Structure 1
Amino acid sequence: MTLPLRAVIFDLDDTLFDDTGCTYAGLRALAAQSGLSVSPAELFARHAAHIRAIDPLLFRGELTAHGARVLRFTRLLTELGVPDPDGEAATVTYREAYRAAWAPLPGAADVLRDLRAAGLRLAVLTNYVREVQALKLAHFGLDTLVDAVLCVEEVPAAKPDPRAYHAACAALAVTPQEAVMVGDSWEKDVQGARRAGLRAVWVNRAGTTGPDPAVPVASRLADLPAALGVPVLTRG
């Protein structure tokens, strides 16, 4: 028997916050500063690979968020043939452009308000550090619209480990069967949550069906309440 829905757990980056858009903005500034001729898509992919390689050091406390950025850009620029790259200067350039482009995804605040008004408990569960993620949430006032924020250093293991979702459910005082995970990553936000006993909604801006057509898809956040069967306020 499916229990009534009592809680919604959100991913942050590229679910509520436009991390991809900000990253492209930062990388454009870095490419201009460094005279790089690599395509934006290739630069984004190389940058993402360095994030994946360095993040474990950050999560283990061996680097600060700033130190991780300096190492990331030193390695990235070295890989791209920039002689004697200045990782500190690259970090400043990237970070200024990234911060200037900060934006929530359209409808983020409205959907949180609608779900709260419907009586649901809300959390953010993110695979990144509080030092960074709390600033994003507070900048747009999204932190005041959720009941709990769980960052990677505050859970027993990162998504898609079942313990991450169970920690979020515990923070909201609900069972996994009473919660749904909402996010853009099929593996970390959909598959992992379902293996942990939660329901899931895939945020996919292309609007295409995922590998399992039984999983609801929201191409925009405004579609989420309907995907959850939750009534919303009429605006306008």
Structure 2
Amino acid sequence: MIKAVIFDLDNTLVDFMTMKKQAIEAAISAMIDAGLKIPPEEAKQRIDRIYAEKGIEYQQVFDDFLREIYGRIDYKILSAGIVAYRRAREAALVPYPHVYMTLTTLLKMGLKLAVISDAPAREAWLRLCYLNFHHIFDHVITFDDTGERKPSPVPFLKALELLGVEPHEAIMVGDWAERDVVGAKKVGMKTAFARYGDTFNTQNPEADYELNDIIELIDIIKKENGWQ
């Protein structure tokens, strides 16, 4: 019987990559308006490379970018980029269709809910609070809480411990098969692959279930628990 549902955050509850793309494009445009003298395509390539080297959550990406261009930080250009990035991020940070409905239905069904994210704690909680999801989940486990990223079993075992359930009593929902599905299966959890958030064109996620819409999770839980 499934007693708990554990979700990945980015590209499972929220379309993180679309948000990131729009925010970066807005920042580049604002920096050019403030005096940046390189084409937007080159700026994007340089910023993408910094993210590739230092991680998608790296917070000083524009600082490094400007040092690379000018050998120093031009604070007028930097500030214009940061403000535009934050405004675009907030406008684009929305949940996937039916996420809120699905979460509230699962709560009404008596299930415990948690999040496992590889994001730093500050960034994960900011996204959850902005979406007004911070009161929904019983527990949120981030990279800062365990020092381990998926597919390490550590964050999954931590979530199970906090929720007070056995592995076979929980299902993991995530968009990254090599991290979310593999990690959850290692510890004996059921898995549901969020096909709707897949950015890798994954052919065979090897999950127990595949979701084209998160709302399909409700019928899966009912089936698993014999409630249909």
SS at match of 2:12: coil
Q: Are residue 179 (structure 1) and residue 170 (structure 2) matched? A: yes
| Cα distance, 1:227 vs structure 2 | 3.6
Which residue is 1:62 aligned to? none
Which residue is 2:100 aligned to? 109
Q: Are residue 73 (structure 1) and residue 62 (structure 2) matched? A: yes
Structure 2: give runs of 5+ residues left out of the alignment: 33-38
Q: Are residue 38 (structure 1) and residue 27 (structure 2) matched? A: no
Q: How many percent identity over aligned positions? A: 27
Q: Are residue 5 (structure 1) and residue 2 (structure 2) matched? A: yes
Superposition pairs of residues 20-35 of structure 1, within 5 angstroms: 20-35=17-32
SS at match of 1:38: helix
Distance 2:209 2:109 in 1: 19
| Cα distance, 1:141 vs structure 2 | 2.4
Return closer, same or farther for 1:135/1:212 CA change in 2, 3 Å cut-off.
Answer: closer
Superposition pairs of residues 104-143 of structure 1, within 5 angstroms: 104-143=95-134
Q: Superposition RMSD on alpha carbons, in Å? A: 2.9
| Cα distance, 1:209 vs structure 2 | 6.7
Superposition pairs of residues 193-204 of structure 1, within 5 angstroms: 193-204=184-195
Superposition pairs of residues 204-223 of structure 1, within 5 angstroms: 204-205=195-196, 210-213=203-206, 215-223=208-216
How many matched pairs?
Answer: 213
TM-score (normalised: structure 2) = 0.79
Distance 2:19 2:177 in 1: 21
Report if the CA contact (8 A) 2:12-2:197 is conserved: no
Return closer, same or farther for 1:94/1:191 CA change in 2, 3 Å cut-off.
Answer: same
Residues 185-221 of structure 1 show CA distances to partners (whole Å, capped at 9, x for unaligned) of 1112111111122111111227877424553111221
Report if the CA contact (8 A) 1:121-1:172 is conserved: yes
Structure 1: give runs of 5+ residues left out of the alignment: 56-67, 232-236
